[in-house]
Amino acid sequence: MTEDTTTGPAPRGRLAAVGPVPLLAALLAVDLALIAASVVRLVTAGPDLTDPWLLETDGGWAEVVGYAHQAVLGLLLLALCLLTRHLVWAAYAALFLLALADDSLRLHENRGAWLADRLAARLWFPPDGFLGLRASDLGELLLWALLAAAPLLAAVLLHRRADGWDRRASRGMAVLVAAYVFCGAVLDQVHVLFLDSWVGDVVGTVEDGGELVVLSASVGYVAGRLADRRRARAAGGPGAGRSAATPVPVRG
């Protein structure tokens, strides 16, 4: 009786397809430790937003780690853009670097209410909010949408012009971007609906913890794609040069 060799790849092999296993393990271990510490502090001390161990605390440990992830991710994506000569990676880099600027400078928190007030004054915006969301929350959503619109549109258009290796890799990046937007935008607004309740605490933990995990997975994924491309270039294999379709060159 012959041995069945049609089984799929081992779990470690599937994980390695996402990114370098040691790097992913280290990043996710830090994320899980921060999430666990936040849950313990939330249960034992309550939602004190001056506690640096809570995921939601402005300037807390989780936010600092998130900033580092965003900065490293932006740099890795720019490096991938230079290596592959495809601007789709620059569009993804712009998205995460804008997210870093928005989070660290509190752009959507500080300017969202201002934008809502200006639009409400012109009767273009509901002054009392909508569907349980405050006007300031709607302003924050609109401001983030305005910030993200250009790099997201560029990523979609440039993805359509890519082919071969870059298109396949871009699909994976698009899934991670969608997960990041879901945590940072959709769950953020669900959290607002349940503020000052245990449900809000749970949603807030899933939201902020999910963002950390997605950023870590993204860093590992892009690091893995950089390693793949460098190995292909060193071996002179199919992934060494540009893909079969005509890519968008980086103009200098």
Q: Consecutive 10-residue runs of the chain (252 residues): their mean pLDDT?
A: 44 58 94 96 87 91 96 97 95 95 76 61 54 62 80 95 93 96 86 81 93 97 94 70 44 42
Tokens, residue 5: 């060799």
pLDDT at 109: 63
The total of structural domains in the chain comes to: 1
15 lies in a domain?
Answer: no
pLDDT at 83: 94
Of 215, 212, 189, 217, the residue nearest 55 (C-alpha): 212
167 lies in a domain?
Answer: yes
pLDDT at 129: 52
Task: Tell me the residue range of the domain where 113 lies.
Answer: 21-42+50-235
104 lies in a domain?
Answer: yes
173 lies in a domain?
Answer: yes
Tokens, residue 156: 């979609």
209 lies in a domain?
Answer: yes
1 lies in a domain?
Answer: no
- Whether the CB-CB separation of 244 and 163 falls below 8 Å is answered with yes
With a threshold of 0.75, does the pTM exceed it?
Answer: yes
201 lies in a domain?
Answer: yes
- Whether the CB-CB separation of 70 and 94 falls below 8 Å is answered with no
SS3 204: helix
pLDDT at 103: 84
203 lies in a domain?
Answer: yes
pLDDT at 252: 39
pLDDT at 133: 60
- Whether the CB-CB separation of 243 and 167 falls below 8 Å is answered with yes
pLDDT at 127: 53
Q: Which amino acid is at 207?
A: E
